[in-house]
């Protein structure tokens, strides 16, 4: 296999890629937070983004993502999230939306009245946090 670059050139490419990636990450996060754009369009963009292009958190949900419709989410009881499990924000929202129409709702939806507007507010909180994944550690 023929080498197409030398070590110096490879270092320059890595430096350029790192700087470019950081700028793209900043730009994407800014677009996701910009309420000028409709929520459904920003949410679709968020869903397409790989986790490493957004933020990840460890040891629990970011501030604002631990409640829905004004009620605290008990992750294990309400969504069967195990300790140290990686939680995908998109998956959680999809599960919330499924609970609106399912005859077999999670405990949270049995205890509390939740509307699509509540879930949309949760989506907005996710977008404002920019967190795609987090580790559940209580």
Provide the residue ranges of all domains of the chain, joining segments of one domain with +: 7-135
105 or 53, greater pLDDT: 53
Give the bridge partners for 113, in sequence order: none
Whether the per-residue pLDDT at 53 is higher than 90: the answer is no
- CA 61 to the chain's CA centroid: 10
The per-residue pLDDT for 1 is 62
Task: Rank 10-14, 87-91, 105-109 by mean pLDDT and report only the highest.
Answer: 87-91
Please state the rounded mean pLDDT for residues 8-36: 92
- CA 78 to the chain's CA centroid: 18
Please state the rounded mean pLDDT for residues 26-34: 96
Cβ-proximal residues to 48 (8 Å cutoff; 6+ apart), any chain = none
Whether the per-residue pLDDT at 122 is higher than 90: the answer is yes
User: How high does pLDDT run on average in the chain?
Assistant: 90
Please state the rounded mean pLDDT for residues 3-26: 88
pTM above 0.85, yes or no: yes
Place 32 in a pLDDT band, splitting at 50, 70 and 90: very high
Please state the rounded mean pLDDT for residues 66-73: 93
């Amino acid at each position: 296999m023929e080498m197409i670059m030398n070590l110096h050139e490879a270092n320059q490419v890595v430096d350029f890629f790192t700087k470019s990636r950081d700028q793209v990450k900043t730009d994407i996060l800014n677009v996701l937070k910009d309420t000028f754009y409709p929520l459904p369009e920003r949410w679709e963009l968020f869903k397409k983004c790989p986790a490493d292009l957004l933020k990840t958190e460890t040891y629990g949900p970011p501030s604002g993502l631990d409640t829905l419709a004004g009620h605290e989410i008990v992750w294990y009881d309400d969504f069967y999230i195990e300790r140290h499990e990686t939680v995908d924000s998109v998956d959680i929202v999809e599960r919330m939306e499924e609970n609106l129409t399912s005859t077999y709702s999670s405990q949270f939806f049995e205890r509390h009245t939740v509307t699509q507007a509540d879930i949309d507010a949760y989506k907005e909180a996710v977008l404002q946090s920019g967190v795609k994944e987090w580790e559940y550690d209580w």
